[in-house]
Structure 1
Amino acid sequence: MRYLLLFALSFPLLAQCQKVTPAPAGFRALRDLDYVGSGNARQMLDLYLPEKKGEKPNPLVVYIHGGGWQAGSKDEADVLVGLIKGNTPYAGASLNYRLSQQAQWPAQIHDCKAAIRWLRAHAEEYHLDPDKIAVFGISAGGHLVSMLGVTGGVKELEGELGRHLEQSSRVSCVLDFCGPSDFLTFGGKGSVIDPDDPQGPLAKLIGGPLKDRREEARKASPVSYLTQDDAPFLIIHGDKDNIVPYAQATEFDTALKAAHIPSILLTGTDGGHVFLSGPLVERMYAFNARHLQGKDVQIPGGAVPSK
């Protein structure tokens, strides 16, 4: 319950995040680390490192922000802080990526993969465990962490950014909070977003309306890349989400299981687009404990309260 309270106090409404998240007690923050070497502020990350160095390197939780691929910042990392503080053994990273008004897909996943490679290459320097990396994202960030989870080794999505191309971009586990999973089935499921709107967030990401860019939409969809060696997933989605349809979660969970990829779906009862409740937080902690610490914990799927 102590972890639950600490997380609840740290979990923001996305619209309220307007300032740089301070390092919590017992941590130090390293800001604006350039994971590409370009000097571009959108290709930098922040690290939150425990001040006390333990015997073992710290597992890492990487946070990727939302914002429709056209807004948001690594500075808004309260949600990450909620997952790593409270006597957990974790370090944290929050990263920027190029937004859709700066570069079209697949620039965003190229950036995210470059960041994972950079973190792995600098693991010894920052006392991180390169074999224990969780990724957590909300909305557009949920889409990007899902792509990281299912495209390890997919050459065309690795990109050629940064100085550590020899490093793997694979991750240990994925916490996908209301992220899109299949743009080809996105429309007509109760979302206020029209994928055929040329001014909509999807069109801006893939370079045009879905009806004209179906192959690009397919290539940008996590469901297109499933293989049995992909990372295990925790999918979190509200059944009343009117931005990313709940069907994106149920369809993705079904596809992951059909591909023999471990997947747990948590459905927020009457939950909208991003929600918080005690049972949800406890299962998020348990999921990280299983995959980052090797603890034998049970994580029941199914409905969770959204408040």
Structure 2
Amino acid sequence: MKSFILFLLLGAVVVGYTQTPIPRDTSFTLHGTYLKERKYRPYIRIAEVKSSVASYLDQEYDRVGDRPLLLDVFYPKSGTSKRYPGVLLIHGGGWQSGDKSQMHTIGKALAAKGYVAVAVEYRLSLEAKYPEAVYDLKSAVRWMRAHADKIQLDTKHIASLGTSAGGQLASLLGVTNGNSDFEGQGRGNAEQLSDVQAVVNIDGTLAFRHPESSEGTAASNWLDGTYEQNSANWESAAPLNHVSKNSVPIIFLNSSIPRFHAGRDDMIKKLDRYGIYWEIREFPDTPHPYWFFSPWFQPMMDYTVDFLDGIFE
């Protein structure tokens, strides 16, 4: 009996060593953001969606070493085999904090309007530096296509949607279709395409080094150094620098804080050069994380769905 107990204890130690701890920064939370913002705007409320939709939660879409990467899927309760366009949902948090649950309300709202919404976990700066998060997100898009039958996805119509840092990442996906430099080696479902066909950018920067930008410590942490130390990453991570004829239509849903629009107008000039469709919807007198709250959540979702319906019709 003593030998058996010793075996179990030793086994627990071995198992413990095989699991790599994941560093977490929990500074960016929905509740904490609400408490902060209601000091200045006491009328705000955390947005809720009451529609009943189907879901698959904590699905493993890829694995890096012993690290599983998970996502949550929300889709319409239709009772049919109909296929729906998809939206990859990318949370914010300065590339260092936040989690996929912060996109659940948006995901449920999209599913209620006939979309397959996928809230994705990606590795943040305490765990992995740029461009690893991009590799994760493109892998998630490939997972969506590989599991299209299960989630009733129309694989020809997938958008990326992100908030803040997630908006930057969503935009980067939309300007790097077919660019092998952003795919990552040995990642899951390599036989599938990682292309997206539209972008919804919710207050995400388009350029890290720009007259309108004021990115600092959070960007440096993710981009593996200051601009002076690692200018290549700062330039590579900027969606503005990758706009081409292969870029996709985009809607900018912006707060009233200019620094989170950095590079937007210059990006629009480039999009115009290639004849690529874009929209801007700006919400006056709004905090940066306005997407969490009423009275702005519903008009934001209305603009989002109208845009996507128009692109995917």
How many matched pairs? 267
CA contact 1:253–1:265 (8 Å) conserved in 2: no
Residue aligning to 1:232: 249
Which residue of structure 2 aligns with residue 262 of structure 1?
277
Q: Match of 2:219?
A: 202
Q: CA offsets, 1:98-153, max 9 Å, x none?
A: 00111110001000000000111110222111111121100100011001101011
Larger radius of gyration: 2
Indicate yes or no: 2:165 matched with 1:153.
no
Cα separation, 1, equivalents of 2:110 and 2:234: 34
Of 157, 161, 182, the residue aligned with 1:132 is: 157
Alpha-carbon distance between aligned partners in 2 of 1:70 and 1:47, rounded to the nearest angstrom: 23
User: 1:52: which partner in 2?
Assistant: 78
CA, structure 1 residues 80+40, in 2 after alignment: closer, same or farther (shift >3 Å)? farther
| Structure 2 unaligned spans of 5+ | 1-29, 36-46, 291-295
Q: CA deviation at 1:190?
A: 7.2
Pair 1:24–1:53, CA change in 2 (3 A):
farther
**Residues 177 and 235, structure 1, Cα contact 8 Å, conserved in 2:** yes
Q: Distance in 2 between matches of 1:102 and 1:281?
A: 32
Higher helix share: 2
Q: How does 1:116-131 map to 2 (within 5 A)?
A: 116-131=141-156
The one of 42, 58, 74 equivalent to 1:32 is: 58
- The question of whether the paired residues in 2 share the 8 Å contact of 1:23 and 1:29 is answered with no
- Distance change (3 Å), C-alpha of 1:14 and 1:249: farther
The gaps in structure 1 that reach 5 residues or longer are 1-11, 295-307
Q: TM-score, normalising length from structure 2? A: 0.77
Amino acid at match of 1:46: D
The answer to whether the aligner puts 1:214 opposite 2:231 as a matched pair is yes
| CA gap 1:24/1:279 in 2 versus in 1, 3 angstroms | closer
Q: In the aligned structure 2, how far is the partner of 1:66 from the partner of 1:55?
A: 33
The amino acid across from 2:306 in the alignment is A
Q: After the TM superposition, which segments of 4 or more aligned residues of structure 1 sit over 6 Å from their partners?
A: none
Structure 1 partner of 2:33: 15
For the residues of structure 1 that align with 2:98 and 2:48, how far apart are their CA atoms? 17
Q: Does 1:168 align with 2:193?
A: yes
**1-structure distance, mates of 2:62, 2:186:** 6
Q: Which amino acid aligns with 2:67?
A: N
Q: TM-score, normalised by structure 1?
A: 0.79
- The C-alpha deviation readout for 1:259-284, integer Å capped at 9, x for no partner, is 33211122233333133266544322
Aligned-partner Cα distance in 2 for 1:251–1:239? 18
CA distance in 2 between counterparts of 1:233 and 1:250 reads: 13
Q: Are residues 32 and 40 of structure 1, via their aligned partners in 2, closer, same or farther at CA, if it must alter by over 3 Å?
A: farther
Q: Is the 8 A contact 2:85 2:115 kept in 1?
A: yes
Counterpart-to-counterpart distance in 2, 1:27 and 1:270: 32
Alignment partners' CA distance in 2, 1:44 and 1:51: 22
Q: 1:190 to 1:26 in 2, by over 3 A?
A: closer
2:56 counterpart letter in structure 1: L
**Distance (Å, rounded) in 1 between the aligned partners of 2:311 and 2:274:** 19
Do 2:207 and 2:262's aligned partners in 1 also have CA atoms closer than 8 Å? no
Residue 291 of structure 1 pairs with residue 311 of structure 2: yes
Q: Deviation per CA, 1:1-44, whole angstroms, max 9, x where unpaired?
A: xxxxxxxxxxx788249xxx999643222121111134525x21
Instruction: State the distance in 2 between where 1:234 and 1:268 align.
Output: 13
Instruction: Give the 3-state SS of the residue equivalent to 2:279 in structure 1.
Output: strand
Alignment of structure 1 residues 44-193 onto 2, 5 Å: 44-81=70-107, 83-86=109-112, 88-185=113-210, 189=212, 191=214, 193=215
State the Cα distance separating 1:258 from its structure 2 match: 2.5
Out of 247, 270, 282, the position equivalent to 2:302 is 282
Q: Percent identity?
A: 26
| Amino acid corresponding to residue 253 of structure 2 in structure 1 | I
